[in-house]
Amino acid sequence: MHQIARTTTQIGAVIRRERRRRGLTQSELGSRIGLRQATVSKLEKGEPATQLRTLLDALTALDLQVIIAERRKPSAKEVEELF
């Protein structure tokens, strides 16, 4: 499964979806990566002050990875799948 995210809000939405899909609360995800629930909430909201390490730790805990690719115009279906 690939999900395209180009903004902090979209990245936060991906993390929220994956956390919920795995049946985890924000507190449970936070415990896995040594963060408070409030920090996970900020990450999922896409707050710009989130540290890169926090993002990478959350992705690792959810068995996700970052893939850097050349930007292209997504299809209408791909845009719909983001939300």
Handedness of CA 38, 40, 42, 48 (dihedral sign): positive
Amino acid at 40: V
Which tokens is 62 given? 């959810």
Q: Are 30 and 36 in contact (CB under 8 A)?
A: yes
7 phi and psi, to 5 degrees?
A: -130, 165
pLDDT above 70 for 73 = yes
Looking at residue 1, its pLDDT comes to: 67
pLDDT tens by residue, 11-23: 999 999 999 999 9
Q: Which domains does the chain have, with CATH numbers?
A: 8-82 (1.10.260.40)
Give the integer Cα–Cα distance in Å for 16 and 38. 13
